[in-house]
Chains A and B, each alone.
Chain A
Amino acid sequence: MIFGLIIIYILILIFDIPVILKTNNRRKTIIIYSVLLGVSFIISILLMLEKMPTTPSIVIEQIVKTVFMR
């Protein structure tokens, strides 16, 4: 399953490389693209391994309860 996930992300990269190479500000685009793809890849792997950090919904819920529902 993890191998399948890696293949999917490699395919995404292969599809996107020509688009990235056509951009004007290539360096900045590559950096931002890497961050975005890296974040989604890491979270996907952690989801698959069932080692997820706290979901953002719980964090948001705690903030909302602290601010609005004291």
Chain B
Amino acid sequence: MELHVALQKSFGAFSLDVSFTVRGERIGVFGPSGSGKSTLVSLLAGLQQPDNGIIRLDGELLYDSHDATNIPPEQRRIGIVFQHPYLFPHMSVKGNLLYGYKRSAPANRRIDFDSLVAVLQLDHLLSRGVHNLSGGEKQRVAIGRTVLSSPRLLLMDEPLSALDDTLKFQIIDYLKAASEAFRIPYLFISHSLLEMRIMADRVLAASAGRIEAQTTTEDLARSRMGLSPVGYINLLQLAHPRKVDGMSAYAWGGTELLISADGDHPESLFELSSKDIILIKQHPDAISARNLLDCTVSGTFRSGGKVGVELACGDGRLVAEVVQQAACELGIEIGSRLFAAIKASAFRRLG
């Protein structure tokens, strides 16, 4: 997918002025609320008119103020998943799911109804009305409805913001499953860096109506490490724990990580803050932290007065942060050997 956008739109004191070309399948638009992300979504989908500019998707002109090209929303094939599900209240779950499917040209239908229902686990809900669904079920139906319309581009406008944490990570799994199964390129809009890192590869950073940078999610996370109160969040996908003294031991980086969260799930995503990793130069005799990893420094970076230290431990990678003085005292440079001490309770399961 290639999207070229150069748009201006003003309302009152706020003005949106964006210009970017982005290629890829998993694109994020990251920025605080009020940065113009949702306006951008409306303009891309054709729900609002820009003051002037151009929108080109995969070489096709969707909007051009110079020659008055303005493809109406129903012909753009750009689907939206909003923060709230907005299901049609007068239709059943099946009626909602098929609304866009029935209106798509048969030649464009790439998604099979039954396989979508299976991926989003909606089969038992099909004949139900939409009023008695739970929040997560509603959002799954909304995602399915949009995906079934076979859009060329999917705009997800803060689709997880209205959900609590547990539900959020369930829906993330469904979103990932649907996007992997049906390969629809998407723009994932969010103010959450964590969601961005899970859902997107490339990121457009929005601020005050402008796109300030185009970067990778990894670089974005690193650049924000020193500014964020939670530091850099290491995301670890861990599986098949075994029980050890009331803790769970997960295979990682050629060794084992001891984590105090219970290990009922066969597979879990854990977060670990860069602030919760203590770096030591020599192996201590004894330490209360249950994880002492023998690491090699594979890279360093600066962020907001802090030094980010990229650690290689077997095939595992972690980012720790230290202040400048500590970096000097530890003699951190690429290739130097360090021990990383991490408490078992520092890991937090997501979802």
Asked if A and B are interacting partners, one says: no
- A interface vs B, CB < 8 Å? none
